[in-house]
Amino acid sequence: MKESLDKFKYFLEEVEVLYHYTSLFHIGTIMDKRVIKRTLSNTGFNNDVVWLTSSSSPEGLGLGNLVDDYDKKVYRITIRRMCYMKPWNKWIKANNQSENMAQTLIISANADEDRNTWYVSEKDIALEKVLLIENLKTGEILYNKAQNIRGYIAEKNI
Give residue 73's pLDDT band: very low, low, confident or very high (50, 70, 90). Answer: confident
Q: What is the mean pLDDT of the chain?
A: 76
In this structure, of 21-25, 31-35, 110-114, the range with the lowest mean pLDDT score is 110-114
For residue 158, give the 3-state DSSP assignment.
coil
pLDDT at site 107: 56
Distance CA 157, CA 140 (A): 25
The Cα 40–Cα 110 span in angstroms is: 21
Tell me the C-alpha distance between 41 and 132, whole Å.
25
- The pLDDT of 67-94, averaged and rounded, is 83
pLDDT at 49: 85
* Position 21 pLDDT exceeds 70: yes
pLDDT value of position 157: 57
Range of the domain at 90: 2-156
Among 13-17, 40-44, 138-142, top mean pLDDT goes to: 138-142
Going by pLDDT thresholds of 50, 70 and 90, the confidence category of residue 35 is very high
**pLDDT number for residue 25:** 83
pLDDT of 11? 52
Domain count, the chain: 1
Percentage above 90 pLDDT, the chain = 24
Residues 6+ apart with CB under 8 A from 118: 51, 52, 53, 61, 87, 88, 89, 111
Confidence of residue 138 (pLDDT cuts 50, 70, 90): very high
